[in-house]
Structure 1
Amino acid sequence: MPMNRRTLLAAAGGAAAGLLAPGTGRAAPTPFAQPKLPYAEDALAPVISPRTVALHYGKHHKAYFDKLNQLAAETPYAGLPLEEVVTRSHAAGDQAIFNQAGQAWNHVLYWNQFEGGPAAPEGRFLDLAQSTFGGVDGLKQAMTESADKVFGTGWVWLASDGRALRVLSMQDAGNPLTEGLTPLCGIDVWEHAYYLDYENRKAEHVKAVLDRLVNWRFVGARLPA
């Protein structure tokens, strides 16, 4: 079953009760933990190959969590949920923390949005796609075109402002959370996400992921009430 927003945040959090901190009598924050991949490494083939998944999840995503734990240790960030680390570090200009926390959070959503997919959109999300983009095909086209606006590394996001859907292209670890928006779907356009399978054909990769992998019911379930 796809994770909803609350489950996603809980799985990615880093402040569960644990051992007592020395001399404090309070529970010490546990390290930020990379959630388990919700399917086998070959489940996304042929759109994303098992080799790409192994490297992307097992090396790149893991490294963001590892580095975040190093940087956040013994700082106020160590006891916060991951989403809060993203927003607070961005607001404070703590770029090193933000880079790792943003990429850790971004990838949790990235992997989870494929679980159980591809599933057709429905309900309020389908209505919003129609009113904002003229339909789901228009939404996909807007996201694919937005990939070309990312120069170098970054993400293409579908987000909600509580009233309408928005497509954003953001550099590096950029995340709609920092703009007060709810991320619904995120496509990684760093080269490690697609180059082994698509070489320099970034737009082709984005289109294939949107058409053949994304669980649009998971995406719609993330709409704010």
Structure 2
Amino acid sequence: RRRLIRDLGAASGLLLRPRPATATATAMALLCRLASRGRSRTKLIAALGCLASRQKHTLPDLPYDYGALEPHINAEIMQLHHSKHHATYVNNLNVAEEKYKEALAKGDVTAQVSLQPALKFNGGGHINHTIFWTNLSANGGGEPQGELMEAIKRDFGSFGKFKEKLTAVSVGVQGSGWGWLGFSQDQGRLQVTACYNQDPLQGTTGLIPLLGIDVWEHAYYLQYKNVRPDYLKAVWNVINWENVSARYTACKK
């Protein structure tokens, strides 16, 4: 019960005030986690009601130009992926939240329930892509350093074995989804897993997202066609290990 109150309070506080996308991601993940635990509908609706008081979500700027990741990911893919696909998730999330606000005001529980898939899909799409853009860099590639590298060696045996595992999990996603490196606060260990569609990692598994690899076809098809393994081989050249390491350090505090 104490954890439920803490999570509801944290999510509500984040959603009631203007905030960066990272805080939005945390709030959405908390709410998804509460939903997955089957918590009281009344309590969950009260927490989701905080969405009605917040500012609209906006598309975050990329920290680099669309062509910065070439030749590994070309400019056309990046432009469409960011300005069209991610923008659509943001717009649809705002629409879904506005409809949810109206349903709350009317006390229309049926409408509230029917909007949950749209909130999850578009909210997850916004969370996932906001992380993804910062996980990439024109100066990326290579291997991580410091605490993250030590944790990878501890939990996977070596960086090479970790890379092979995340690649295999990502390539093996049937249909659309994401490959993830996450951190389990309960176990104090790194884990590799996949989430389907736009399901957010933390809201789905409880793992804190460190590195996400988008394996929806829109992330690679224009350049790599149906050969997903070639895309995975290329994306390792632009992984921003400084960002991944910073996320790892932050989640341990």
Distance change >3 Å, CA 158–CA 46, structure 1 → 2: same
Which residue of the partner structure matches residue 169 of structure 1? 194
Count, aligned residues: 195
Q: Does 1:188 align with 2:214?
A: yes
Q: Is the 8 A contact 2:96 2:115 kept in 1?
A: no
1:34 corresponds to which of 28, 52, 59: 59
**Do the aligned partners of residues 120 and 177 (structure 1) sit closer, same or farther apart at CA in structure 2, a change above 3 Å counting?**
same
Cross-structure match for 2:128:
106
The structure with the greater share of residues assigned to helix is: 2
Change (3 A) 1:137 1:66: same
> In the alignment, residue 220 of structure 1 is paired with which amino acid?
S
- Counterpart of 1:182, as a letter, is I
After superposition, residues 74-223 of structure 1 pair within 5 angstroms as: 75=100, 94-115=116-137, 116-118=139-141, 120-162=143-185, 163-178=188-203, 179-210=205-236, 212-223=237-248
* CA–CA separation in structure 2 for the residues paired with 1:122 and 1:146: 23
Partner amino acid, structure 1, of 2:216: W
Assess, with a 3 A threshold, how the Cα gap between structure 1 residues 8 and 217 changes in structure 2: closer, same or farther.
Answer: farther
Say if 1:184 and 1:219, in contact at 8 Å, map to a contact too: yes
Q: Could you tell me the percent identity over the aligned residues?
A: 34
Q: How does 1:55-70 map to 2 (within 5 A)?
A: 55-70=80-95
Residue ranges of structure 2 left out of the alignment (5+ in a row): 1-18, 28-51, 103-111
Which amino acid in 2 is paired with 1:9? T
Instruction: Name stretches of at least 5 consecutive residues in structure 1 with no aligned partner.
Output: 1-5, 15-26, 78-88
Equivalence for 1:17: none
User: Superposition RMSD on alpha carbons, in Å?
Assistant: 2.7
Contact 2:100 2:115 in 1 (8 A): no
Structure 2 SS opposite 1:60: helix
Residues 153 and 171, structure 1, Cα contact 8 Å, conserved in 2: yes
